[in-house]
Amino acid sequence: MTNQAPVQKNDYIDVTFEDLTHEGNGVAKVDGYPLFVPNCLPGEKAKIKVVKLNKGYGFGRLIELYEKSSDRVEPECPIYKECGGCQLQHLSYSGQLKAKHKQVREVLNRIGKLEDVVVHPVLGMENPWRYRNKAQVPVGEREGGLIAGFFQKRSHDIIDMEACLIQQEKNDIVVQSVKRVCEKYGVKAYNEQTHKGTLRHIMARYGMKTGEIMIVLITRTAELSNKDKIIKEIRSTNLNIKAIVQNINPKRTNVIFGEETKVLWGDEYIYDYIGDIKFAISARSFYQVNPEQTKVLYDQALKYAGLTGEETVIDAYCGIGTISLFLAQKAKKVFGVEIVPEAIEDARRNAELNGLENVEFAVGEAEKVIPKWYQEGVKADALVVDPPRKGCDETLLQTIIEMKPKKVVYVSCNPATLARDLRILEDGGYKTVEVQPVDMFPQTMHVECVSQLVLKEGAGSR
Residue 83 counted as domain residue? no
Please identify, among 274, 303, 319, the residue that sits at the C-terminal boundary of a domain. Answer: 274
For residues 221 and 422, what is the distance between their CA atoms, to the nearest angstrom? 46
For residues 120 and 435, what is the distance between their CA atoms, to the nearest angstrom? 6
**Per-residue confidence (pLDDT) for residue 437, from 0 to 100:** 98
263 and 120 part of one domain: no
pTM of the complete model:
0.93
Domain containing residue 35: 12-67
Residues of the chain with pLDDT under 50: 1-2, 462
Q: How many CA atoms lie within 13 A of 392 on its CB side?
A: 31
CATH number at residue 51: 2.40.50.140
Residue 5 counted as domain residue? no
For residues 435 and 121, what is the distance between their CA atoms, to the nearest angstrom? 9
249 and 345 part of one domain: no
Of the candidates 83, 86, 413, 449, the residue annotated as catalytic is 413
CATH number at residue 207: 2.40.50.1070
By C-alpha distance, which of 431, 421, 425 is closest to 107?
A: 421
351 and 449 part of one domain: yes
Dihedral sign (CA 307, 311, 317, 323): positive
Question: Are residues 381 and 312 in contact, defined by beta-carbon separation less than 8 angstroms?
Answer: yes
Residue 413 is a catalytic residue? yes
Residue 3 counted as domain residue? no
CATH number at residue 369: 3.40.50.150
Residue 433 counted as domain residue? yes
Question: Are residues 448 and 412 in contact, defined by beta-carbon separation less than 8 angstroms?
Answer: yes
By C-alpha distance, which of 330, 286, 336 is closest to 309?
A: 330
307 and 441 part of one domain: yes
Residue 460 counted as domain residue? no
**Per-residue confidence (pLDDT) for residue 3, from 0 to 100:** 56
What does the pLDDT look like over 83-120, one tens digit per residue? Answer: 878 999 999 999 999 999 999 999 999 999 999 999 99
By C-alpha distance, which of 299, 336, 329, 326 is closest to 448?
A: 299
Domain count of the fold of the chain = 3
From the number of C-beta atoms within 10 Å of its C-beta (0-12, 13-18, 19+), residue 352 rates as exposed
- Which distant-in-sequence residues (6+ apart) come within 8 Å of 283 by Cβ? 203, 205, 214, 216, 243, 245, 247, 261
299 and 446 part of one domain: yes
Backbone φ, ψ for residue 102 (5° rounding) = -60, -45
What does the pLDDT look like over 244-278, one tens digit per residue? Answer: 999 999 999 989 999 999 999 999 999 999 999 99
144 and 118 part of one domain: no
